[in-house]
Structure 1
């Protein structure tokens, strides 16, 4: 309460300061062109839609408010910029530069004059999806940037992964006039003078992130709970008696490791607060299944299993026994994946493997086509080193492409949709427009996008 009272006592003084600053900045803005890429980026960090003042004839304030409301209600990291076709927005690098300056993973839709293009971080939407959607709206509404923007957003919202950024806490639409900079300066003074303002903003952002983490964890929970239950059933099925006449110390050690892994997985899931916590659960289950496979081999008198990754198609199948070539449905390059004996036999017979299905907005899909929400779950089973290679070209693979099992992922860096990554993204993976952008050969020019306009 003491912090709040101090802030309230400063309101009259700060109001005067804000007014003076806004007047000074607005006056200075009148001497130069309004808007600019920095202004657009600053506005998009605070809300999903930015309309340059010189492009208000494209998207009115009311239309922009409505569009922003739909995006915020959907809680998806979809950014929209409506810009004039001027030299300060170079077409060839516009999408890349805007994404870099905003610094948040997401889907970026940009109208430049009467043209349109879009890009996305692969953790949020695959390159093919972005290019298909952008190409479709360009072909259905050529020369109508408002229709292309709204049509793209309507299609992108149900397909985008991730969550709205925590920084979207207030106004949802930015209309650059220069005054927005004054407000930012005044807010900065509020933090400096009021002292407790930063604490209040930080707490709000923290609460929002915690809510988003809970929602993403709830999406994963059914799959993880199924894994834990399945492993418990395997423990019961094997029917091992540590005190039995045929039991030896090696068997008892394997059985103890399997039981410990089961308890670790259950405890870790009970304590999980964020999606990243699931990695510990699936890692424990992977350890437990190998211990159980070793125990079963000892009981049967067969050769002990080699320490290998779990079956790619469904980790519940247990440790893999060999690597086989596999090409995802719908195309993509052939890659080598570790598989169990049953799936190896099915592939050899020309049958589909017994893939792990999970619920998605499009119905049940193999987990590698369910999107980045399942990245922590999969990484606990397979580690960071092999996943990007075997999942390249899939929705899940896109979210792992920047990590490759090296130190960044080991240190817990897990940029999902709506997370702040700064300039840490690969323009080559940012779907749509790059390699030419709005210019010739890119997303906006003739021959760009998905088969041109």
Structure 2
């Protein structure tokens, strides 16, 4: 090589961009998908040293007996997951392209939470995974300090959705003792006896007032319009329950605030609980005698108390939000699925319409007459509780109340 050519090559190399020492780390979906091509259980390298072999063995056993393909990934919390974590199962399915249940378990400090989706072969029908989870009364009682309990339960729920097999009972070692008493949270159990006493006193007091009112009433003097102007008989009871549940939520949040070294998950739970509690307080303050507002405050305070206690948020019963939460899913008008309590769900399955929460509505040619109607027949533009089904149709009731 001549000296002139050598100098030209050196000069050209001097102006080339400096290459990185190694290629950029692939995005999380690509890394998980690559690992799944050799092992359907992927453990992030940052977790391998601390992951007990017994946990992985339990997960693998559940994967083998699921009756459908199962893909599981265990990863730590990251900025990517905070921004796109709920889309991750779908992104992974797009990369793998196979039917099955895709589960991504994320650890926040010492707390685990999983995101899962069930993808069936084309044309194969079955239940939605979310529907099975909503019906599973033990789902919110699982411990979250270990990954296996939640992952194993999700695999069992996916198997039920896939082929209809019954859900097994959760082993006692996988249940959180703080939340395993029939779905009651810590605050519910602490205040149950006091609440029963309060309810008994309210019934006795109401019976006494009713008895005295009937004695003083003059028959033939009370008109139909006077009866129509009375508030619904359950309005006072709903207001009482809402105020009591707001106090329970405040106590649960106070206990959470007192905890030191709160995890990222607990901080998120605290923010969510305060968001719902603030909306409940505003409803009671702005509309203290409105039945819809009282029922909305009851739902939001009940959710705030559960979140602050570490339990999962449950949607209300669409037909009557003052009933137990909507743990069942039923078909409603225009083929819309709505959550319902077990009582209202059984009415729907018999081909009937539940009585539901009834409120006063104007009727007649000039609007002078009033009658009680199911709340969902009102104009949704006039009230956020009607528009969202008290949060049963969309979980944005706190935001709608905040902008009113």
Q: TM-score, with normalisation over the residues of structure 1?
A: 0.28
Whichever of the two has the greater Rg, that structure is 2
Q: TM-score, with normalisation over the residues of structure 2?
A: 0.30
